[in-house]
Structure 1
Amino acid sequence: MKKIILSVLLFAAILSIKSQEIKYTDASELNLIGKPFPDTPNPYHRIDTLVFKGFNTTENRQVRCPVGMSVLFKSNTTKITMSTNWGYVYNTVSTMPIAFRGYDLYFKNERGEWQYAASGANRNYQEGKEDTFTLIENMDGTAHDFMLYLPMYSEIHTCKIGIDNDAYIEPIESNFRHRIAVYGSSFTQGVSTTRAGMSWPMQFMRHTGLQIVSIAASGRCMMQPYYTTVLEELETDAFIFDTFSNPDAALIRERLLPFIDRLIKAHPNKPLIFQRTIYREKRNLDRVVDERETAKAEAVEEIFHELKNGKEKERFNDVYLITPNASDNHETSVDGIHPNDYGYSLWSRSIEEPVMQILAKYGIR
């Protein structure tokens, strides 16, 4: 009798251990969306730097980071574990580690909207070692559609999603529409966010249902000719630019017109929507910053006035200039430059109406 009881208990213990085992699926085997170019050797790289040349060391690192990319999948697991092998890992005091080397998880609620579920990063991360942590647990085992944002500023070599041993995971189709490319600065990258899904492009994407593909380049968005080559080759239905945040007035005057000319030629009859740079709170008392920002703004206004009113104005019919707003009572800045999550939310909502009105002219809804 004792042997029978012991056998039953042992069998139950084995089943319990078995149910706690984790099975992993590489995220690239699911539906990876927001990827600018489909055939990079590393599926988590935005740009193949063996194909596109000219990037400096910083830019090479940036284009290998999966900012703007997310994974769509369905699972009935009760727990999700993330296991990552990192390449370059970013570090800064103004951005949460969850944003630059963590994961941000959403699920589709009963209204069909993407709703926040969990976010996290490994507190005990060690460079060079596989990084594994529990992203969420104690779910009830109901099947959900998930969207997992990848880190906004660290390179991934491998990314595996762990689920219960007796659960399933499968890719789901994307219901995001069209392809809208964004090219911009650290603002577009999402510096100073708490998690990857809170940059203005990602909030805009969730709220409008338009698929964003990001060519964000923190500190390095200066309309360089080699970056323009990337944009020329990109398959997209429209562009939204944050190109006036990094270059000074002289560089804007030098590069803006050639930049626009090349994109008009490469993407005829597609909207090129430029945004004025947002107000930097640093300029409130810093006279040097204020003078620099004023000069940049004046250069942009002068050039666009000529574009829209000059002899060749018909050639620039698809070029637009709009104004974002990321400030509410001057209380949304993290470091005098970048907004916080709420500031990026204000930014996203402030451009939604003018952008959607412009896109509607081109049948993009």
Structure 2
Amino acid sequence: MKNYISLMLFMFQAASASFAQDSLALKFVDGHELKLSGRAFNSNQNYHRLDSSDRKLLIPRVKELATNSAGLSISFTTDAKTISLQWRLARWLDQWNMTPLAVNGLDLYGLKDGKWSYVASARPTGLNNSAVLVKNLDGQMRDYRLYLPLYTEISEVGVGVPTNATINKSAPPANQKRVVIYGSSITQGASASRPGMAYPSIMARSQNIEVINLGFSGSGTMETEIVDVLAKIPADVYILDCVANPSPQMIKDRAYGFVKKLRTLRPNTPIIMVESIFRETGNWDSQIGARTTQQNMEFRNAYQRAMGDSDKNLHYIFSKDLIGNDHEATIDGTHLTDVGFMRLAEAIGEEVKKVIGK
């Protein structure tokens, strides 16, 4: 009840300015009352990616990043002709190589003619935000999906529609597959232009699967504790996209044991190991280039060693062609633009299709 009252007060305060410009009466629905996807636990207290009991097992930086809402989405059906949004951030974050929209904002997709299509973005301006996302819709009952911020913690969100409109929680898709991805900042979403353009979310839309994004910026270093967290999440496939952060020596020391422990805990679930993209800065900085090559080599060695144990459900994706060869897929030589994410989603998505039999 306390959280509900807090949300209602927040919505009233944040709405007053925007509603003065629009006489349309709106009703707001708490995001927790709609369908929340992208995490494996239920809670109406937060929009964290991992439960508090799991977070306490992890190193401090991962524990903090797990409160970011990367990969989480809210799905609903409505016949509204206008969709508004109000949200509150626990903290505002600026990233020099990311847009404020991707870090602190949200974007909306709609299902039209059987395909998810971009609808609108919600511009963030501070800790308390409100926006009219879209007007003049056709009033047909449709499915919508709202992607939450990639790199900060969102504490409250409400979806607003006219009082005469219907809004309901989306029905769960029948027999939907689930993919869990563990990785680094690229997995988390750096540097997509908006939340829905992180590659795990692109894959989820294109294949109609649920993807749980466990990318931890700068901190995907294969600690053994994270394996226990991954294995607790039921999945049809696990993807290990975690080469970019650990040093070559760390990969040599940790990767094989990481894979073997996950296999022990999940003996029948496919695992896909993904090499690091080749950092564009490595085309010019020979030290960076050599480091990335060595990282991938150590990861490949771990894969070959695991395959020597007759693991028939282990798969591997090489770095070649993951983001193309035109050197135009990054924003800063490391992190991806939307072009890079589309290419990466396609490359990894093709292997996912083969593995889960799509």
Same fold (TM over 0.5): yes
Aligned to 1:347: 344
Larger mean CA deviation between 46-55 and 275-284 belongs to 46-55
* Cα distance, 1:330–1:17 mapped onto 2, change above 3 Å: closer
CA contact (8 A) 1:225 1:259 kept: yes
Which of the numbers 62, 65, 72 marks the counterpart of 2:65? 62
Aligned to 2:24: 20
1:29 maps to 2:27: no
Aligned residues: 336
CA distance in 2, matches of 1:44, 1:201: 17
CA distance in 1, matches of 2:143, 2:21: 27
Larger mean CA deviation between 86-95 and 187-196 belongs to 86-95
CA distance in 1, matches of 2:43, 2:159: 21
CA contact (8 A) 2:260 2:306 kept: no
Report the 3-state secondary structure (helix = DSSP H, G, I; strand = E; otherwise coil) of the residue aligned with 1:167.
coil
Larger mean CA deviation between 327-336 and 43-52 belongs to 43-52
Aligned to 2:208: 209
Cα deviation, 1:107-146, whole Å, max 9, x if unaligned, reads 1112x11111111323xx234xx22122222323333211
Report the 3-state secondary structure (helix = DSSP H, G, I; strand = E; otherwise coil) of the residue aligned with 1:222.
coil
* RMSD over aligned Cα atoms: 2.0
CA distance in 1, matches of 2:22, 2:220: 50
Aligned to 2:273: 274
| Structure 2 residue identity aligned to 1:355 | V
Report the 3-state secondary structure (helix = DSSP H, G, I; strand = E; otherwise coil) of the residue aligned with 2:98.
coil
Q: Larger Cα Rg: Structure 1 or Structure 2? A: 1
| Structure 1 residue identity aligned to 2:215 | A
Larger mean CA deviation between 246-255 and 77-86 belongs to 77-86
Q: TM-score, normalised by structure 1?
A: 0.87
Gaps of 5+ in 2: 1-19
Aligned to 1:195: 194
Percent identical: 28
| Structure 2 residue identity aligned to 1:97 | P
Aligned to 1:168: 166
CA distance in 2, matches of 1:188, 1:135: 27
CA distance in 1, matches of 2:56, 2:344: 32
Report the 3-state secondary structure (helix = DSSP H, G, I; strand = E; otherwise coil) of the residue aligned with 1:20.
coil
CA contact (8 A) 2:251 2:299 kept: yes
Report the 3-state secondary structure (helix = DSSP H, G, I; strand = E; otherwise coil) of the residue aligned with 1:344.
helix
Report the 3-state secondary structure (helix = DSSP H, G, I; strand = E; otherwise coil) of the residue aligned with 1:119.
strand
1:114 maps to 2:113: no
Report the 3-state secondary structure (helix = DSSP H, G, I; strand = E; otherwise coil) of the residue aligned with 1:317.
coil
Q: TM-score, normalised by structure 2?
A: 0.88
Aligned to 2:289: 290
Cα deviation, 1:267-305, whole Å, max 9, x if unaligned, reads 111101010111110101112211211211221222323
* Cα distance, 1:55–1:285 mapped onto 2, change above 3 Å: same
Gaps of 5+ in 1: 1-15
| Structure 2 residue identity aligned to 1:86 | L
